[in-house]
Chains A and B, each alone.
Chain A
Amino acid sequence: MPPPLDATAEHLLRDLVPLVLGAVIRRFGDFAASEDAVQEALIAAATRWPRDGVPENPRAWLIQVASRRIADHLRSESARRDREAIVVSLVPPEEQLALAADDANPTGRDDTLDLLFMCCHPVLSTSSAIALTLRAVGGLTTFEIAKAFLVPEATMAQRISRAKQSIKASGVPFEMPLAEERAARLGAVMHVLYLIFSEGYTATTGPELHRSDLSGEALRLTRMLHGDSEVAGLLSLMLLTDARRAARTGPSGELIPLDQQDRARWDRGAIEEGVALISATLPRGSIGPYQLQAAIAAVHDEAPSAKDTDWAQILGLYGLLQRISDNPMVTLNHAIAMAMVHGPASGIERLDALAGDPRLEGNHRLDAVRAHLLERAGDRQGAITHYRRAAERTTSTSERSYLMTQAARLSET
């Protein structure tokens, strides 16, 4: 057994995976075969680097080993199929690839981004796109991804392999989409990254360590996208949300709502970065939903205490958000802001308008918000009823605990 890779080398490998995979796919065009070859190259690195030292150009080393594996594989495949292939196979793969292995990407673009756009292709279901992105771009092992999503490893392996097959079957070319397509595709990429982030962020019980890694991974991938103002908005939103992580749960994993969090435990560095980013982005024009949500998060994060929160500004931002996205969840939050600025009665009025919306039917959030506003309005019994109804309807264990505790608290006063 060789000694294990040290942490630096392991980090390096993870950063290199998408670059190497991108380069190999570009050369051979076969996603699944390229992925297998890169895996083999990683195994080779794990056994040889601790013994021989990390090569001078680790990226080229990995590309070369992976390319050699895939060439070997293609050669034996085609040899079986076609006698003429022997001519090709007589040229040693090392020579075929010696020049290619170290050359720069001819288009000068970062392969990682192409890979990210490919993994978030609309032919894939969202769950497949998430799994494939983490696997191919994030460099996480199937075992790690399965753990993070609390499904058996075999299930996740199957999901990933089907995703690769769908990509192959759809004939998606490995390239950045054309300009007009890019905007739509970028939307899908941001959506996938945000879902990965949320999946990690909303976990409060279970193997939380693995799941919070997901948020870190989403942040890392979003940082690579840069350029677009909505991407900056998304990154800022993630930073400003992630900043509250430590304060969000109590000692036994119970949820602590924003207004009761210990703000001293918020991550100042993340808040500063998020605020600076959104402040620089907003004036650039073309405002989208991620930027507005980031701006709202910034107002919360900058308030020294819950009661010093600038709700008038938040109300204005939700008003804007409502105008560009027809989402009942936005309207719900708008109602809360309304209640904070103009009193609970006006918030409840907004909720009444939402009651008939089929998208919210049976949704516990409507009850939870109503309970909260009724409590503020002094209707204790009404608040208890709605807290309990929300508790019965939520599918989140920690949220259920929180809502039940609220109802119990009011029953005792």
Chain B
Amino acid sequence: MKYILMMNTPGGGPYQIARWPQKDIKAHIAFMISFAKKLGESGELVAAEGLAGPDQAKRVRAGKDGKPITDGVFPEAKEFLAGYWIVDVESPERAYEIAAQASAAPGPGGAPLNMAIEVREVMSGPPKDWI
């Protein structure tokens, strides 16, 4: 079963991580890289992406003529999606376990961030006997 693990980080200025001490930034990045690598090696990683900063995000709707109408930027948003992992695992418990590992990524002073990771199951295709 597939799950998407969404890492939401609080707003309040883009990328607060940029305000951390150098060695903490480095430790955080090293953690994220080895985390993705381990998931890849265990064969559970489907996809992982980090998203560009929210200060460039736009909300898009189609106008009457079907052309895009853009709205934004939203620098004051309370929370924004910083990145996600999609994993293919045996059980929901395993997905929660992975999410907890990501949540404990080191922050300032090396202390775990314990940030909230939203875990949602990815819908699958129709059951086999259905087709």
Contacts and interface: CB of A to CB of B under 8 A. Distances in A.
Contacts of B22: 405, 408-409, 412
B63 interface: no
A388 B16 CA distance: 10
A404 B50 contact: no
A155 interface: no
Interface string A372-413: 000000000000000010011111010001001101110110
Contact of A412 (B15, B17, B21, B26): B21
A404 B18 contact: yes
Dominant secondary structure of chain A at its interface with chain B: helix
Contact of B33 (A253, A392, A412): A253
A141 interface: no
Interface residues of A, number: 21
Q: Place the interface of chain B in its size category.
A: 20 to 34
B18 A401 contact: no
A408 B28 CA distance: 13
Contacts of B14: 392
Interface in B42-74: 50, 52-53, 55-56
A213 interface: no
B29 A393 contact: no
B33 A391 contact: no
A252 interface: yes
B15 A392 contact: yes
B87 to A, nearest CB: 16
A362 B34 contact: no
Contacts of A388: 15, 18
B55 A405 contact: no
Given A205-B33, A362-B56, A392-B53, A407 B21 contact: no
13 contacts: A205-B36, A252-B30, A253-B33, A254-B26, A388-B18, A391-B18, A392-B14, A392-B15, A397-B50, A404-B17, A404-B25, A409-B22, A411-B19
Closest 3 CB pairs of A and B: A408-B22, A252-B30, A392-B53
Interface of A: 205, 207, 252-254, 362, 388, 391-395, 397, 401, 404-405, 407-409, 411-412
